[in-house]
Structure formats: C-alpha cells, structure tokens
Amino acid sequence: MNNIPWIFMGTFQNKDFDLLLNNVQIGIQNGVHGFDTAPSYKSEGVLGIVLKTLIEKGVVKREDLFISDKVDAWQMQENNGEMSQYVQDALHKMHLDYLDLVLVHWPLPEYLYATIRSLIELKEKGLIRNIGVCNVRIGHLKRILSNVGILPDFIQNEIHPLNNCDEVVNWCNEKNIKIMAYSPLCRMNKKLIESPILQELSIKYNKSIGQLILRWHLERSVMPVFMSHNPKRIVENTSIRDFSLDKNDIVRINAMNENYKIFLESKGCPGYEIH
Amino acid sequence: MKYIKKMLHLLQVITGNSSVNKRICEKNPGTFTENRRNFDVLVIGEMYDVKDLIPHNKTYLQFDAPDRTLFASFLILQGKFSWLNEGKGKCIIVCKKNNEKKKSVSMFDIPFLHTIIIHKYKLKKQQAELKFPLLCHPLQICKFIFGKKYEMSFVEKCPLPEIIDFCAQRDIEFEYRVIKN
Ligand SMILES: NC(=O)c1ccc[n+]([C@@H]2O[C@H](COP(=O)([O-])OP(=O)(O)OC[C@H]3O[C@@H](n4cnc5c(N)ncnc54)[C@H](OP(=O)(O)O)[C@@H]3O)[C@@H](O)[C@H]2O)c1
C-alpha cells in the first residue's frame, strides 16, 4: 500500500476516448495517479484503453497508477456475491493484470458479506490489491468486521461540506482505513458557490471555491475523487498542495454540514442500514 | 431486435401509452432533478388527499397510485426513505382495507422500485405492462388520471410487523392509515 494517491479523477458519465485521453494525461502531468471507474459508468473499457495508450507512450508506468473499480449491486445479486467472473472480465476489458482497488458499490444487506469474502479470495490470488466499500456508515464496517473478520482497506462515500460525514471520517482515520470522497465538490451546488463563508475564504487564501473545498478534504485526510471534462479545471483542482487551511477555517467549513446528499442511500441500496 | 424495439416505441407513442407512462413515471422524483432533501414526511400508498395529514409547515413527498397494496408500499419505502430527514422523519402508509393482505405489485409501483427488487420479486410482467398502461389496465388508468383522491382514513396497527421494525431500525416515525372500503 505504498502508492496511495492523494487525489483521484472519476469517470462517471465520461466515456469519450479522445476527451478522456486528454484529461487523464493532463491529470497525470499534474500529479494525479488515481483513477476511479465502475461497471455502471460504462467507462471501464475506455479508461483501460486510455491508460494502456499512456503507458505505451511512456507518459506513465503501470506501477505508478492506482486504478479503482467497483462491483455493482446487480452483479452482487446475479451471482450471490461471487465476484470472480466480473473482476476477471473487468481486468480483461481494462487490459490489466490486477486492480489496485475494488470497491463494493452499495452495501446491499443480503449480499455484502459474501461479496467481501469473494473479494478477499481475489486479493489472495493477487488479482486485486485492496478491498473497499462505498456508501457506508460505521455500523456497516463493524458488521463487516464481525461477520467476515476484516475491515476494508478503503471506503468511498459522498463527502463534501454539505455532507461532511464527520463520524465515519473520524472513525476510519482512527482505524487507518483510507477514505475517498466522491462528489467532493457536491457537483458545485449553488449553496457552495453562494456560500459567504467560502467566498470569504476564497479571498483570504486567493484560491477558487473548488480549490478550497478540495484542500479541506486533504486537511481531513480524505482523498477527493473529482470529475471534470474541462482541462483548465483539472489543473485548477490539482493545484492545491501549495497552501493549507487554518484549523478554525476547517471547523467553519465543517459547520456547513446539512446532511445534503446527491446520491440518496436507499435509492442506490434498498433497505440501506443507517446504524 | 433494434427494429422491433423501434416499432414497439412507435406503437407506444401512436396509442397514447407513452404519455400515460410518462405521467406515471414523473411521480418519481430524480435525485438530479429534485434539489430538495430532508423531507419531514413521506406518504406512500393509495391515492389520498394529504391536506389533513401534513401540518402546513412540514415538507412532504407523496408516492400514490390506485389500489397500491401494503406490500408494494413497503417495497417502495425501502428505496425511498432516504428522502426523509434522518432521525426526524415520518412515514405514513395509506392503504385500502382490502389491499392490506395482498402480496402483489402493480405496474404503477415499478418506477419507484430498484432493479434489485424488480429482479428479486420477478416483476418483468409488470415492467412490460408499464410500457402499454392504457392497453393493459384501462380502468386503473382512468382511476389514476380522473379518480377522486380519498379523504378519510383511520390510524390502525400495521398488519405487517416488518414495516414497524424497518422504521424503528431507521429512526423513522411510522403511521399506518386504513381506508375502509
Ligand atoms: N461510489 C459511488 O457511489 C459514486 C457515486 C457518484 C460518483 N462517484 C465517483 O466520483 C466521481 C466524481 O463525482 P461527481 O462528478 O458526482 O462530483 P464532483 O467532482 O463533485 O462534480 C463534478 C462536477 O463539478 C464540476 N467541477 C469540477 N471541478 C470544478 C471546479 N473547480 N469549479 C467548478 N466546477 C467544477 C464539473 O464540471 P466540468 O466537467 O464542466 O468541469 C462537474 O459537472 C465520479 O466520476 C465517480 O468516479 C462515485
């Protein structure tokens, strides 16, 4: 686990080869080596070809990349948690020998433990390097530990100032579970753009609101998984390591929390357990 | 296959089924199109006039359809409860007495269900019916479009204890209301 990224680029709704090739290359040139996909994004194949192209061009080495994929709810149901075939298909589609991380996309109560057991076997075989779960609460993690005997290496939750996930972030940081934040900018919700706190801090630090939010994630030891089709924004979003936020400002951004989620948990995972 | 799909779609449009289908589906708010979150109340079940159920300062979402069974309302609740304000939300299920015990799901329920649930309960038939709602269930469609909403119901103990447990485990206040036929 020594090439853990500090930031990821996501590929949700991002299937155009030329656009992705350009954006991934810009990302890599600006220090990104983590890339996130999922079967439901229909971007596994194109991301795989993009990365293969960049490896062949000598832009990046495979061992410097960190590729994160997921297993979707329908796969967990269709094969009762047995994930081997899907992971092998994904590797084939992406022209890879191994995945750095496979995340369970939704913690469907009926199939969660069988799925994780299957991922453990794949990890033992060397096909995947890390196991993760998305959209989780502390209760899920404790139940995974008691039912399967492990804690995941990573979690990936919707985290941004309007949904700071304080409890699970603190808990995972204590247990050394790596935390990824998806929709880290809350898709630049109006409430963020118009926030007087963020506007004030933007002037104070001479950074854009997007940069402030992404830096806030880093200050909390959270790895943002951002998405942008716009090369300028990719440069902007990755230029956040030359400043840090004062403690008090982190607290002020934390206080913007209003439990606002774009992706409602029960919508992605019927019967979602909140405790 | 592509040709057959196109023909079916054309037939759907010509016969007016696609506009009825749209009307059924648009009752389902999308997480990208609906910006509001943390609702105070969810009302699920029969077509019901909620004006006396919801205090005027409370926000609510309603998922209603003619002759929705208690069983179907529970399946819908399982996928929709995150629209509620966590720890403070309330769910009201309204059901006609004669629909309490039925374990059926209708085409009206399909847009509100996750594909996982559709597969688990093998609801392919209802999914297909939803493509041609006028053709498959003309009377129910009349009720859906022109029917009057019920206005009187009584609070009772819910005959499906799973719903009570489900809500308790998720800190949801639950109320079950029956429409006597
Ligand atoms: N595990 C899960 O369940 C799950 C769910 C959803 C997403 N994800 C992952 O998370 C990734 C990101 O999620 P997301 O796209 O929802 O969230 P996001 O990164 O918060 O938002 C992306 C949106 O914000 C805009 N944007 C990006 N940087 C900006 C900046 N500096 N200033 C202003 N606007 C900016 C982008 O527009 P432009 O393209 O125009 O720049 C795009 O519309 C996905 O690609 C996916 O990999 C995971």
Domain tally, chain A: 1
Q: Measure A199 CA to ligand 1 centroid, in angstroms.
A: 20
Q: Say if the Cβ atoms of B116 and A275 lie within 8 Å.
A: no
User: Residue A226 to residues A182, A209, A230: CA-CA distances in angstroms?
Assistant: 7, 14, 12
The 3-state secondary structure of chain A reads: CCCCCCCEEECCCCCCHHHHHHHHHHHHHCCCCEEECCHHHCCHHHHHHHHHHHHHCCCCCHHHCEEEEEECHHHHHHCCCCCHHHHHHHHHHHCCCCECEEEECCCCCCCHHHHHHHHHHHHHCCCECCEEEECCCHHHHHHHHHHHCCCCCEEEEECECCECCHHHHHHHHHHCCEEEEECCCHHHCHHHHCCHHHHHHHHHHCCCHHHHHHHHHHHCCEEEEECCCCHHHHHHHHCCCCCCCCHHHHHHHHCCCCCCCCCCHHHHCCCCCCC
For A170, the token pair is 């603190």
Distance CA B111, CA A4 (A): 40
Q: What is the DSSP letter of B54?
A: S
Q: Which of B122, B169, B176, B127 is nearest to B154 (CA)?
A: B176
Distance CA B50, CA B75 (A): 21
Q: Is residue B9 part of a domain?
A: no
User: Which range of residues forms the domain containing residue B55?
Assistant: 32-127+137-179
Residue with token string 């699920």: B44
pTM (2 decimals)?
A: 0.95
Q: Which residues of A touch B117 (CB under 8 A)?
A: 270
> What was the pLDDT predicted at A15?
87
Q: In tens digits, what is the pLDDT along chain A, a chain of 275 residues?
A: 458 999 999 999 888 999 999 999 999 999 999 999 999 999 999 999 999 999 999 999 999 999 999 999 999 999 999 999 999 999 999 999 999 999 999 999 999 999 999 999 999 999 999 999 999 999 999 999 999 999 999 999 999 999 999 999 999 999 999 999 999 999 999 999 999 999 999 999 999 999 999 999 999 999 999 999 999 999 999 999 999 999 999 999 999 999 999 999 999 999 999 99
Whether the CB of A230 sits within 6 Å of ligand 1: yes
Strands, E assignment, B31-150: 41-45, 60-64, 90-96
Q: What percent of chain B has pLDDT over 70?
A: 99
Q: Which residues of A touch B32 (CB under 8 A)?
A: 262
Residue with token string 């054309």: B10
Distance CA A167, CA A174 (A): 11
Q: Is residue A3 part of a domain?
A: no
Q: Is residue A209 part of a domain?
A: no
Q: Say if the Cβ atoms of A259 and B86 lie within 8 Å.
A: yes
Residue B31 has pLDDT above 90, yes or no: no
Mutate to test the pocket of ligand 1, among A9, A11, A12, A22 (most ligand atoms within 8 A of CB): A12
- Choose the closest CB to B38 out of A259, A262, A275: A259
Whether the CB of A163 sits within 6 Å of ligand 1: no
Are A61 and A52 in contact by the 8 Å Cβ rule? The answer is no
Q: Say if the Cβ atoms of B78 and A271 lie within 8 Å.
A: yes
Q: Is residue B26 part of a domain?
A: no
Q: Say if the Cβ atoms of A260 and B169 lie within 8 Å.
A: no
User: Which range of residues forms the domain containing residue A62?
Assistant: 8-188+221-234
Range from A231-240, B9-18, B30-39, B74-83 carrying the lowest mean pLDDT = B9-18
> What was the pLDDT predicted at B86?
97
Q: Is residue B44 part of a domain?
A: yes
Give me the phi and psi of A140, to 5 degrees please. Answer: -60, -45
Q: Say if the Cβ atoms of A272 and B82 lie within 8 Å.
A: yes
- pLDDT-based confidence at B94, cuts 50/70/90? very high
Q: Which residues of A touch B37 (CB under 8 A)?
A: 259-261, 264
Domain tally, chain B: 1
Q: Is residue A139 part of a domain?
A: yes
> What was the pLDDT predicted at A152?
98
Whether the CB of A135 sits within 6 Å of ligand 1: yes
Residue B145's SS3 state is: helix
Instruction: Please tell me if residue B29 touches chain A, with a CB cutoff of 8 Å.
Output: no
Name the residue with higher pLDDT: A208 or B13: A208
> What was the pLDDT predicted at A1?
43
Q: Measure B121 CA to ligand 1 centroid, in angstroms.
A: 34
> What was the pLDDT predicted at A2?
57
User: Residue A234 to residues A208, A209, B124: CA-CA distances in angstroms?
Assistant: 13, 14, 43
Q: Is residue A253 part of a domain?
A: no
Q: Is residue B38 part of a domain?
A: yes
Instruction: Please tell me if residue B111 touches chain A, with a CB cutoff of 8 Å.
Output: no
> What is the residue-averaged pLDDT of chain B?
93
Determine the residue type at A217: H
> What was the pLDDT predicted at B7?
75
Å between B101 CA and nearest CA of chain A = 21
Q: Which member of A41, A86, A182, A272 is catalytic?
A: A41
Q: Which residue of A has its CA nearest to B118?
A: A74
User: Residue A76 to residues A45, A80, A133, A260: CA-CA distances in angstroms?
Assistant: 20, 6, 13, 27
CATH number, position A101:
3.20.20.100
